[in-house]
Amino acid sequence: MEGNTSLTSAMREAGFRQIELAEAVNERLRLHGHDGTVSDRTVRNWLTGRTRWPHPRQREALEGVFGCTAEELGFCPPTAPSTSEQEAPVRRRDFLTSTTGTAASVVNVFRGAPPRVGTSDVIRLRSGLDALMALDDTQGGHEGLERAALAGAAEALEKQKLGATQRIRLRLFSVAADYTATAAWSALDARRSDHAHALLGKTLYLAGMAQDPVVELRVWNSYAMLAHQRGEHTEAIDSAQAAQATSLTKRDPFYASLAHARTAVGHSNLKDRQAALRSLGYAQEAMSKRGGSASRPSWAAFYGPAELTAITAIVRDRIGDPAESEAASHQALATVPEHFRRNRALATTRLALAQLHQRDIDQACATASSVFELMAGSPLPGRMRSLLGDYYRDLITLAPDATVAQEWGDRYRTEWSRA
């Protein structure tokens, strides 16, 4: 007996466990006047292939939850010729039932009763959030992304007022928090620090309403990065340590690694070599203990061994180890996925800085120039423009009269005005 891999994949993408899918299908059944009789055992039978073609009502409910056909979910209709003859009476009985014994509930659904909001709405909103994160991976933060994220948050907050259950309302608060955190991140990446700070405060409130420790950790991670932008390095460490203190890091080493890595950056900005390397060690140890990534949200997809290596490059350069930073940058660029275009461009700029700090001027300028090719077709996000500005300031400090430095400066000004 073969398992239903399509349904398994759909559940993984939607973040469903067996009991949660059962609840979602039952919501759809009750919405249309039927009893919610699906249990986690029913779902298990679907997943194992024991049930290859669910009851018509259950199929329709499943299609409503996932927004696709039963066949696309991996179910196979029986080939016996009597199938249609068997289903027709069932559908007639359904119609008769809906027009007699359950008429009142049907009327409530279609005649002015407030629309019920359930799991399918949460899934739809989450998919929109995933699309925004994919856009951020490619282009970085910009005003269009921020506006779309805030619109998603507003829709989620409006729908939570109509949530069918308290659990659905909490999940919609969580979605709203994630959308708002995405807007805050976009503002942070664009270096609109005051606006980012205000949005992070709102996100932290929504995360509390959602009782969502994942979003809470995301907020503290962003606060740490924002404090770094502002030159508030002690506050950056405090924010990273607040991320470490969330309940989530006790359960998932992946998030603990991210919090320790962010703390290492804060220590390196204060030139505290020992503390920075200690935090890096904690981050690497936690990363080695991480589990699978199926249940993690799309915003966290950027972090992994490659990103930790890129952060190692930052820390090493800031504590005065440019050769080690260059090696880490090369290692990061060999493993950062191609679709993380913005992150690859940032890591490339870090590589150029490490080469520059070793006085390899020609190679550093060639590396820094490749950033513009990497980001061709998209405006440079504010955070990247600022980092390239740091490179240019160090370049004219270390090699003010070098021809290659002057040529790179001309290219930089041209790209800056174009962006």
Q: Which residues pair with 257 in a beta bridge?
A: none
Find the largest Cα–Cα distance for the chain. 89
More confident residue, 17 or 407: 407
- Contact call for residues 309 and 332 (beta carbons, < 8 A): yes
- pLDDT exceeds cutoff 90 at 253: yes
Structure tokens at 101: 């014994």
**Across all residues in the chain, what is the average pLDDT?**
84
Distances (CA, A) of 417 to 108, 245, 385, 390, 413: 59, 43, 11, 17, 6
Structure tokens at 282: 């904690």
Q: What 3-state class would DSSP assign to 252?
A: coil
* Across 308-320, average pLDDT: 96
Q: What are phi and psi of 329, to 5 degrees?
A: -65, -45
Relative orientation angle of helices 273-288 and 305-318, to the nearest 10 degrees: 170
Q: What are phi and psi of 121, to 5 degrees?
A: -70, -40
CA neighbor of 199 nearest in space, from 189, 213, 212, 214: 189
Q: In this predicted model, what pLDDT tens digit does every residue of 363-383 receive, in sequence order?
A: 999 999 999 988 887 778 888
Give dist(CA 294, CA 270) in Å, integer. Answer: 36
Q: Which domains does the chain have, with CATH numbers?
A: 1-75 (1.10.260), 116-211 (no CATH)
pLDDT given for residue 8 in this prediction: 82
Question: End-to-end alpha-carbon separation of the chain, Å?
Answer: 57
- pLDDT exceeds cutoff 60 at 45: yes
* Across 27-50, average pLDDT: 84
194 pLDDT band, cuts 50/70/90, is very high
14 pLDDT band, cuts 50/70/90, is low
Q: What pTM was estimated for this model as a whole?
A: 0.72
pLDDT given for residue 385 in this prediction: 87
Q: What 3-state class would DSSP assign to 16?
A: coil
Structure tokens at 189: 């990446």
326 pLDDT band, cuts 50/70/90, is very high
Least confident range of 64-78, 357-371, 377-391? 64-78
411 pLDDT band, cuts 50/70/90, is confident
Q: What are phi and psi of 17, to 5 degrees?
A: -95, 175
191 pLDDT band, cuts 50/70/90, is confident
- Contact call for residues 260 and 307 (beta carbons, < 8 A): no
pLDDT given for residue 341 in this prediction: 85
pLDDT given for residue 86 in this prediction: 47
> Which residue, chain included where needed, has tokens 């203990």?
289
Instruction: Assign residue 56 a region (left: φ > 0; alpha: ψ between -120 and 50; beta: otherwise).
Output: alpha
Distances (CA, A) of 203 to 141, 163, 216, 218, 220: 17, 20, 8, 9, 10
- pLDDT exceeds cutoff 90 at 141: no
